[in-house]
Chains A and B, each alone.
Chain A
Amino acid sequence: MSVQQEALVQNRKVWPALNLVEAAPILGDAMERSLSTLGKSKLPDSNHELWRYTRPELFGFDRLEDRSAVRCALRPHDGGALLPTAAGIEVLEGEPARTQGQQAFKQLFGALGSDLALDSFAALNLVSASSITLVQISKQARSLDPWRLSQLISNTAARSAAPLIVITVAAGARCSIVEDLDFNYAGLYFPRVEILLGDGCEFEFTSVQRLALSASYAARHRLHVGRDVNARVLHVATGANASRVDLDCRLHQPGSSVDLCAWYLADGRRHVDFHPTQDHLAPHCRSDLMYKGVLRDHGRAVYYGYIRVAEGAQKTDAYQTNRNMLLSSDARADSIPNLRIQANDVRCSHGSSVGQVGTDELFYLMSRGLTRSMAEELLVQGFTEDLLTRVKNPLIREFARGVILERIEQAPLTLS
């Protein structure tokens, strides 16, 4: 037995979900590769650049030894019953997901290459998968009226849950999917969401993370973008004691346009981390990222963004901006935007800022009679509204605004 195989056998005891592998050989290969990346420790290496600002210990990854499956279902965004299928969308789980997902798995973990070899975090995330859900969106889906993808932890006593959710969007489809993680769970939620976007589709993915403070959250979201796609992704993170999202947006084909937005709040002693990557692998694509965060108390935020433009990805337009508003001198934000550009005919820019509420803005508002706390609240609202103007779908915008305002009101924003 090779060392690798031996490791695999060893790991099967620790990672029972590897049984998933039997029905999905491609996934099995990817998992094996992941395991070799992980090496002995099976945990992310805190010396790695990707963990420089966020200690892996915050997440308690050792809890992955005890994982629950996660069940998914669709629900109309404005309420209503859970549905297995709706308007050209089909949700498959377990065995059917494994068999029908072969094609998608092949693309995700085979030909398209993978993040697994690079990063033990990605590897850990994949080998930990405790359930598989396949969401198939056919070209019958023609509307941007949002659908909720609700997620239910089967055994809430388990110390972690790590669903693998694969969303495939057919060429020419139009669809808006929302996940609203609002359940009361005290463990580690560690999902991986893989999204495959077919040519010419228009797709929105909205991910709201408002888990209980007792929860930890680490997610890996990947977007594989085909030709002439319009995609919009919005993240809102207001919950969990530690929250991290690695978003990999890969533009594989020319002619596509992607907007990435996020809003986060780090208050109390919460730690919020975003690692977005705009990976331009093909020419004539556009990606625009705007992430905004509000920090108060002893909140900590990390933004580590990457724009990568591959050789040959000419005529790329890629922008990333991260803005952090500090409402307390004990809060801290690390904002690190990066560019790696290997093509010469591109337009790229990055910007980042970390700052207290502007004294001139504050004075202007107070000079009209607003108390300091009213002025601050209005400035935070404005900071937020400025981001929301980028959210095209009015239903999503309203929803996100509601989530954010509710959270802001819960914890009045005052200088501390």
Chain B
Amino acid sequence: MKVIEIKDLCARIETGQILNGLTLSIGAGEVHAIMGPNGGGKSTLAKVLAGHPGYEVVSGSVNYLGKDLLTMEPDERARAGVFLAFQYPQEIPGVSILNFLRTAVNARLEKDMSVMDFRKMLYEKMDLLGMDHAFATRFVNEGFSGGEKKRNEILQMAVLKPQLAVLDETDSGLDIDALRIVANGVNTIVRNAEPKPAVLVITHYNRLLDHLRPDFVHVLSKGRIVKSGDASLAQELEERGYDWLADAA
């Protein structure tokens, strides 16, 4: 079963078009990786899927679990199971991770979860990701190191249990150990979840892919998927770069 089907997606900002007819589908339990040159539109795709108001969809369609994703508000999408781990996570001064995530979880539930139950669940997920419990009361991303911000994104994913997870360069900024811990965390979260989620990983490096073993690798350039293959494509890109594809495109 496909979790998401993106067809001929074109999206723009005021100054110009960024996505130019992008097509991609991901099935339940599949891990897809997107690679590609800087400025190709990878983060734009991620934000369009999450419903960022700064991007206008000009044409194309996105079907998510049988629904038209593009007509949904960002918060509806999130409650329906869409999750984006941001390339540049936002700081929210004065709001603790605990308070923030509890509100996010309760927004999905009929009956609010008690502070105690929630705290217990949060600490379990923190342990999985090797995060100090002290982070729970810190303000969201404020004063976090680059790696801590990325880990915090994955913590949110673990707590919110998405059906579609888009990880935008979650690996950059992580040290080698953190990368392994986070990758194992992602594996545990996505491979064990039921129903099985679809995962889209945006990255520039093979190291994360070595851990995550994607089912498919795509190259996104100039707003389109210009090449798709299996995990070996990532290896080839590492050796040859993107130039040969840009020529082909």
Nearest Cβ on chain B to A372's Cβ, whole angstroms: 7
Q: B residues near A, CB below 8 A?
A: 50-54, 73-75, 77-79, 83-84, 86, 89-90, 92-96, 99-101, 103-104, 107-108, 139, 156, 160
Shortest Cβ distance from residue A149 to the other chain B in the assembled complex, whole angstroms: 30
| A383 proximity list for chain B (CB < 8 A) | 93-94
- In the bound complex, residues from chain A placing their C-beta under 8 Å from that of B74 are 363, 366-367
- A175-183, A196-204, A373-381: which one contacts chain B? A373-381
Residues of A within 8 A of B (CB): 359-361, 363-372, 374-375, 378-379, 381-387, 389
Chain A residues with Cβ below 8 Å from B92 are 361, 364-365, 378-379, 382
Q: Flag if A374 contacts B107 (CB, 8 Å).
A: yes
* Set A359, A372, A375, A384: member contacting B94, Cβ < 8 A: A384
Count how many pairs of residues, one from A and one from B, have CB atoms less than 8 Å apart in the complex.
82
Instruction: Find the residue from A367, A374, A383 having the highest chain B CB count within 10 A.
Output: A367
Q: Is the CB of B104 within 8 A of A382?
A: no
Task: Tell which of B78, B89, B156 has the most Cβ of chain A within 10 Å.
Answer: B78
The one of B50, B77, B83, B103 in contact with A374, judged by C-beta atoms closer than 8 angstroms, is: B103
Nearest A residue to B101 via CB reads: A368
Residues of B within 8 A of A359 (CB): 53-54
Residues in A with CB closer than 8 Å to B104 are 365, 368-370
* Contact among B53, B54, B83, B107 with A370 in the assembled complex (CB-CB below 8 Å): B107
Task: Provide the residues of chain B in CB contact with A361, threshold 8 Å.
Answer: 90, 92
Query: Which chain A residues lie closer than 8 Å to B50 at the CB level?
Result: 363, 367
How far apart sit A385 and B140, CA to CA, in the bound complex (Å)? 12
For the complex of A and B, 8 pairs with smallest distance between CB atoms: A382-B94, A386-B94, A382-B95, A385-B94, A369-B78, A364-B90, A368-B104, A366-B75
Q: What B residues does A385 contact at CB under 8 A?
A: 94-96, 139
The 12 sampled A-B contact pairs (Cβ below 8 Å) are A367-B78, A367-B84, A368-B83, A369-B160, A374-B107, A375-B75, A378-B100, A382-B92, A382-B139, A383-B93, A386-B93, A387-B94
Interface centre among A369, A381, A384 (most CB of B within 10 A): A369
CA separation between A359 and B90, bound complex, in Å? 11
Question: How far apart sit A365 and B52, CA to CA, in the bound complex (Å)?
Answer: 12
User: Which of B51, B94, B139, B156 contacts A368 (CB under 8 A)?
Assistant: B156
A369/B95 in contact, CB under 8 A:
no
Residues of chain B contacted by A381 (CB below 8 angstroms)? 94-95, 99
A378 to B94, CA, bound (A): 9
Query: Is the pair A369, B139 in contact by a Cβ cutoff of 8 Å?
Result: no
Given contacts A374-B107, A378-B103, contact A366 B94 (CB under 8 A): no
Chain B proximity of A380: nearest CB distance (Å): 9
Contact B95 A363 (CB under 8 A): no
What is the CB-to-nearest-CB distance from B55 to chain A, in angstroms, rounded to a whole number? 11
In angstroms, Cα B74 to Cα A361, docked, is: 13
- Cα-based distance from A369 to B84 in the complex (angstroms): 11
Residues in B with CB closer than 8 Å to A372 are: 75
A369, A370, A375, A382: the one contacting B93 at CB < 8 Å is A382
A389 CA / B95 CA spacing, docked (Å): 11
Complex interface: chain B residues within 8 A of A382 (CB):
92-95, 139
Complex alpha-carbon distance, A360 and B141, angstroms: 14
Closest chain A residue, CB of each to CB of B86:
A364
Interface centre among A381, A382, A389 (most CB of B within 10 A): A382
Smallest Cβ distance from B139 to chain A, in angstroms?
7
Instruction: Name the CB-closest residue of A to B104.
Output: A368
CB of A368 within 8 A of CB of B78, answer yes
Q: How far is the CB of B100 from chain A (nearest CB, A)?
A: 7
Q: Looking across the interface, which residue of chain A has its beta carbon closest to that of B77?
A: A367
Chain B, Cβ-Cβ closest to A380: B94
